[in-house]
Amino acid sequence: MKKRLLTYVMLLIGMAAFSQNRPKLVVGIAVDQMRWDYLYRYYEEYGNGGFKRLMNEGFNCENCQINYIPSVTAIGHTSIFTGSVPSIHGIAGNNFLIDGKMAYCAGDTTVQTVGSDTKAGQMSPRNLQVTTIGDELKTATNWQSKVIGVSFKDRAAILPAGHSADAAYWFDKKALCFITSTYYMDKLPEWVRQYNGKIQSEIKNLVKNSKTGEKASDLVQYYPYGNEITLGMAKGAIKNEHLGQGKTTDMLTLSFSCPDIVGHRYGTHHQKTREQYVNLDKQLAELFGYLDEKVGKGNYLVFLSADHGAANGILQNQAHKIPSDGFFVDKEEPALNEHLQKVFGVEKLSQRIMDYKVVLNHERILSAGLDEAKVRKAVVDYFKTRKSVAYCFDLEQIPMASVPALIREKAVNGYNHERSGDIQIILKPGYYGVWREIDGGTTHGCWNPYDCHIPFLLMGWGVEHGSTQAECHITDIAPTICSLIHIQMPSGCIGKAVVQVTDDH
């Protein structure tokens, strides 16, 4: 009995000692579709408490790059919080192949929605094959830490928080409320139900007073209100779940999704995009002020990055004589199959083009008795003739591809042989995937700097003011945070801590 008691006391002492070497709360923020240069494009319009506070009080890694393709939302959020790449962490896109069938990154039909009557809650992190910062934090504290994820988008709440998170909350655009799934709990906490009642009342007033005639979900996601209610959920989690108030370090993962939704529709230079970032700056200032009050300035560590950037719009580029055009996916898919049918006499040898990768119909190729290597070569040869394509290569033959080393490395990191497509298409700079017609909006997903140069800023506990132009990668974010708070890096991490941040710690 005395031996057990001594062991328990020593455990408590050990946990207390560790807690002195960690902040009370870690807050990881991802801004969906935030180009690095937005820090400076709107700098004069920012106040002193948001982005400027991060830059002027914290540490700014000016040259943070995404080191894989495709640069899309699910992968970006996963890579920030795992320090890993699709080849290892398994999140190969927003949608990808599992056992040869298309699957959604966070989809899980074994769980049910909590908080509404829709199917929007059939989500979990089970497709993620590695641990996150939050998973490692909970492990380091014997699961005494709380980890909660909040976002407008499901995948941006679920994947950053990790497998062992206490909760993840996202917005149901049909039910107009925040929900979760039975992966985490059987019913919403009372504070979430009360908050949902508040925002549903506000949304009704927005619709009633709207002069545009837009439906409720659009009034939420295309205006700063979507980020506002996401911030409200984050503050609610801090207050009601007592994050940063206990004896061990807690973690909040927070993603602001609406800049991406607005950017896709309106593009990088539209007034609505400017409005998103000027208002987000105010919302960040509100969050940091709230953290100062509830947790204490210097007692929390916050970091901010982005899942990807965005290309300047094709129409905008063309208007200023910059080479740019569309890769029309809806036309390229049938055109490829027509070409392959002429060559091999078999219909629909390609299933789809997904994230600039061709997904072959392996069953049809096998049943027709075709040599798959010849089909692969025919696809590569076909796309090499297309005006918008710079390179095309077989993903099983990446080392043999005659492409720049940077592109080769990104392709290797982004290729998961169980979940990705078969043939990689690399578009010319200024070109990107378009469906139906070119409009004033934009997208992302390519290797280029406009899609892959992202912000990485840290502020608070253990962070000295400064900046560096040294190149780092999205995969270096997680090991940097883990180094600062003295925990093991996630299980699939390939990144390295940014020594300019950690050396003085």
Catalytic residues: 73
3-state secondary structure of 4: helix
Give the ranges where 394-485 is alpha helix by DSSP (H).
405-414, 449-452, 477-485
Cα 35 to the center of its chain, rounded Å: 13
Query: Which has the closest alpha carbon to 220: 199, 234, 235, 237?
Result: 199
Strand partners for 457:
60, 304
Residue bearing tokens 């929900």:
179
> Hey, how many other C-beta atoms are within 10 angstroms of the C-beta on 292?
15
For residues 80 and 313, is the Cβ–Cβ distance under 8 A? no
Token code pair at residue 145:
């830490």
CA distance 379 to 383: 6
Residue 118: exposed, middle, or buried by beta-carbon count in 10 A (0-12, 13-18, 19+)?
A: middle
CA distance 168 to 165: 7
> Hey, how many other C-beta atoms are within 10 angstroms of the C-beta on 374?
12
Query: Which has the closest alpha carbon to 378: 414, 346, 418, 426?
Result: 346
> Hey, how many other C-beta atoms are within 10 angstroms of the C-beta on 470?
12
CA atoms within 13 A on the CB side of 439: 12
The backbone torsions φ and ψ at residue 483, rounded to the nearest 5 degrees and listed phi first, read: -65, -40
CA distance 380 to 382: 5
For residues 311 and 444, is the Cβ–Cβ distance under 8 A? yes
Token code pair at residue 431:
């070109």
| Widest CA span in the chain | 82
Token code pair at residue 154:
């499901």
Which H/E stretch holds residue 102? strand 101-104
Query: Which has the closest alpha carbon to 358: 418, 415, 421?
Result: 421
CA distance 291 to 244: 9
